[in-house]
Amino acid sequence: MNTLEKAVNIQNEKIIKVMVVDDSAFMRFSITKHLNMTPNIQVMVTASDGREALELLKTYKPDVITLDVEMPRLDGLSTLKEIMAHYPCPVIMLSSLTKEGANETIRALTLGAVDFVAKPENKINISEVMNEVVSKIIKVVNAKVFSIPYKKPIEDSKKAADKIVRPLGSNDKILIIGSSTGGPRALNTLVPELNNIPAAVLIVQHMPVGFTHSLADRLDSISILKVKEAEPGDQLEVGKALLAPGGFHMVLDENKRISLNQNPTIHGVRPAIDVTMFSVVQHFGKSVVSVILTGMGVDGTSGSTLIKSSGGYVFAEAESSCVVYGMPRSVVESGSADKILPIHELAPAIMDFLNGII
């Protein structure tokens, strides 16, 4: 039995009701056909744009919505805001692989969408994409839904004055943040609060190629902390966060600089949080601090266990604020978590620890 079949069985025969919103008749047909062929999933209604979807939501109450990012009349982001405000349920965005599509997808994830699927560039890959849609519907059907206030980018003048980056000192810490499903929303809350952080920061978010650059830009635009997508040769610096690029594991080379590789996936993902943690602990030992945020699976547990046994410190997001309480639960159940807090309490606690207050 494969992973998808096991996930279906976990639903205990519950029928997952889905609304499909897409302006492409081909995509509506393809998604509907594929979902209706899947045990325990049924497309209850489709809509060709956001306005039609909102009208239908007055009558229908789906368990999950698949929502196109780019649509006429009412676009995906505007539709998502209305769904979160009036008809909250798990939403999976369908995004194009263009730069604009990636930017809009990241905004959607920070506004409350729980996950996304990249649309195929041609019809040849449609079956593979449909399998991903099915898998993610099953994963997010029980996800907690949060509507997040939109954070405006900070002014350019303030950025220039306050984004202070300095070389890593011998007494400085390395903060590794790991997240998966619901992660962009959590990062959108946490990262802007890490102002003047006395540590170098590494972020590993499970995300495919083409979207992490937009996520890094988004986080940088709303933070005093400097955030960028990691590149080979980047140095660890205090006041700067490096985000692992989609499709690459992020490690440190012998000179403690960033190295990227496409070694096999770990826990079915690349980048993997554990890979980064193992590498960083080898160089920095007890100076490493980890934060495991919302997400499905166990990635980050082995790494956090190593960090704790090496004398470092481990934070985990509490169940109350997680979209999916999987990765943090695994860390907590392993006995590795030193502090378990909801997302809005994590930043102050992290800053207190790094400043020697706790």
The C-alpha atoms of residue 197 and residue 204 are separated, in whole angstroms, by 18
115 is annotated as an active-site residue:
no
Residue 250 contacts residue 242 (beta carbons within 8 Å): yes
**What count of Cα atoms within 13 Å lies in the side-chain half-sphere of residue 133?**
33
Q: What is the 3-state secondary structure (H, E, C) of 39-93?
A: CCEEEEEEECCHHHHHHHCCCCCCCEEEEECCCCCCCHHHHHHHHHHHCCCCEEE
Active-site hit among 206, 213, 249, 267 = 206
Q: What share of the chain is helix, strand, coil (3-state, %, to 5)?
A: 40, 20, 40
The C-alpha atoms of residue 249 and residue 271 are separated, in whole angstroms, by 4
Amino acid in position 139: K
299 is annotated as an active-site residue:
yes
Active-site hit among 180, 304, 321, 330 = 180
Active-site hit among 22, 63, 115, 299 = 299
**What count of Cα atoms within 13 Å lies in the side-chain half-sphere of residue 263?**
12
287 is annotated as an active-site residue:
no
Q: What is the 3-state secondary structure (H, E, C) of 240-274?
A: EEEECCCCCEEEECCCCEEEEECCCCECCECCCHH
The C-alpha atoms of residue 115 and residue 269 are separated, in whole angstroms, by 15
The C-alpha atoms of residue 336 and residue 314 are separated, in whole angstroms, by 7
The C-alpha atoms of residue 71 and residue 94 are separated, in whole angstroms, by 11
Catalytic residues: 180, 206, 299
